[in-house]
Structure 1
Amino acid sequence: MSSARPDHASPGRLLSAPLLVREPDRHQHLREVAASLFANRGYANVGLRQLAEHLGIQSGSIYSHIESKQVLLYELIRDHLENLQDHVEWQVKKSAGVEDKLRAFIAGHIEFQLQHRALSQLSVLELRSLEPEYRREIADLQVRYREYLEGIIGDGMKAGVFHSQPLSVASHCVLGLLSSIVLWFGEDAAFSMEQLIKHYTAMVWPSQRRVANLPPASRPIGHSIGFEN
């Protein structure tokens, strides 16, 4: 899996300096253009001729760069989900207790999704466009990611930090909430990424004061995870 950590330009590099176009750069550019077009116009509404036009190449030469439009979509979603898990695991490993691990999971997920909006939207909206074989492979990646979250929540239950609940319900609720953030908040949103992380964490994970003194039957349905005394 490739690292999910962002690259930063060296301090002394001039932004106006001409760059040599290498083959890996050209391929990455193709992926970025395709992801943007698929996310903004819909996978079904973008033809290879349109993609070639946006890349500034002849439509007949597009197959020298990609195997097919379907494989391109699959690879974009697959690599995004793999990089997402790499990034989140890297963030979680820096945390000690289960409370901090869950916070790191939430923050890492939101951070990565907002930094890669087009790919995040594809991963939510265009799974239906994948052929069954590719969809099954993506489903395996989703299960692995969900099980990673369930491991954190399960450890919290064992430690008496999180209240007892079906793990599959908790993980689906949390991931459903977190993954929809790119659909509701665009780049022009009134909230910063830090503010969104704070608000989403508060929704996913109510504070001890809000739930500790409530009898189990009275706890709000939306409180997926809470603290016990």
Structure 2
Amino acid sequence: MPMTCAERGGYYEERRDKALELLAVKGFGQVSMRELASHLGLTAGSLYHHFPSKQHLLFDLIEELFEELLATLQPPRRRRGGNEDWLTSVIDAHWQLHRERPLQFRLAERDLCCLTDEQQARIKHLRDDYECQLLRLIAPTAALSKAARQAAGHAIATLLNSLPGWLQSSELPEAQRLALMQNLLLGAIERTLHDSAQVCAA
């Protein structure tokens, strides 16, 4: 009996996850298409029916990650509480995303340079959009120059996506690690925006 669309989709996702694991553990440049095929239980020829190239697969995984990061910034329809409460929910969403997709974050940090120029340009566009939206939501009325806004957005996004990796390996209970991340980020965001505004006013 032929597989249904749902079964084929699940089969593809399963193989994609196995490919992600191999690439993340060994590194994009250390995995050949032949090794990837063997890892997935496919012949080298049939692998191309699933993934046109290693770069195509890598791009797909990194692009998906940045699209998920953008999704963490979608504000709830009705905000309850002040801006800090909403910001805490954004931090929580990033923490959860890092828990769910640690291997994709590793690939994005380490192997982005292995993509084609066109693919890197697409990822840069997504990253810039993410950082711009992040700052717009955090400080919609901040009086910053364009350069200061870009620098502040990049700094805050870097912290937001570095702290989970640092803290998740800690021996502290998870609730304490998350609370520490929230406190560090809320303080850093307030200070970053204050310092950036001071520079602009000087």
Length-normalised TM-score, structure 2: 0.79
Match of 1:140 in 2: 125
Match of 1:197 in 2: 178
Note the aligned Cα RMSD (angstroms). 2.8
> Does the 8 A contact of 2:163 with 2:181 survive in 1?
no
The one-letter amino acid of 1:175's match is: A
The change in CA–CA distance for 1:168 and 1:58 in structure 2 (over 3 A counts) is same
- State the distance in 2 between where 1:183 and 1:64 align: 34
> Does the 8 A contact of 2:152 with 2:193 survive in 1?
yes
Question: Aligned residues, how many?
Answer: 186
Of 29, 44, 51, 1:44 maps to: 29
Match of 2:198 in 1: none
The one-letter amino acid of 2:157's match is: L
**Pairwise CA distance, 1:69:** 0.8
**How many percent identity over aligned positions?**
26
- 5+ long unaligned stretches in structure 1: 1-19, 159-164, 207-219
98-107 or 29-38: bigger deviation = 98-107
- State the distance in 2 between where 1:178 and 1:113 align: 10
- State the distance in 1 between where 2:141 and 2:84 align: 7
> Where does 1:158-173 land on structure 2 (aligned, <5 Å)?
166-173=148-155
Q: Higher helix fraction: Structure 1 or Structure 2?
A: 2
- 5+ long unaligned stretches in structure 2: 195-202
- State the distance in 1 between where 2:30 and 2:190 align: 37
Length-normalised TM-score, structure 1: 0.71
**Pairwise CA distance, 1:85:** 1.8
23-32 or 175-184: bigger deviation = 175-184
Of 100, 105, 110, 1:115 maps to: 100
- Tell whether 2:79 aligns with 1:95: yes
Of 139, 152, 157, 1:175 maps to: 157
SS in structure 2 opposite 1:95? coil
SS in structure 1 opposite 2:73? helix
- Offset from partner CA, 1:152-205 (integer Å, 9 cap, x none): 2222648xxxxxx9332322122111222454356x642454333211221121
177-186 or 104-113: bigger deviation = 177-186
Match of 2:200 in 1: none
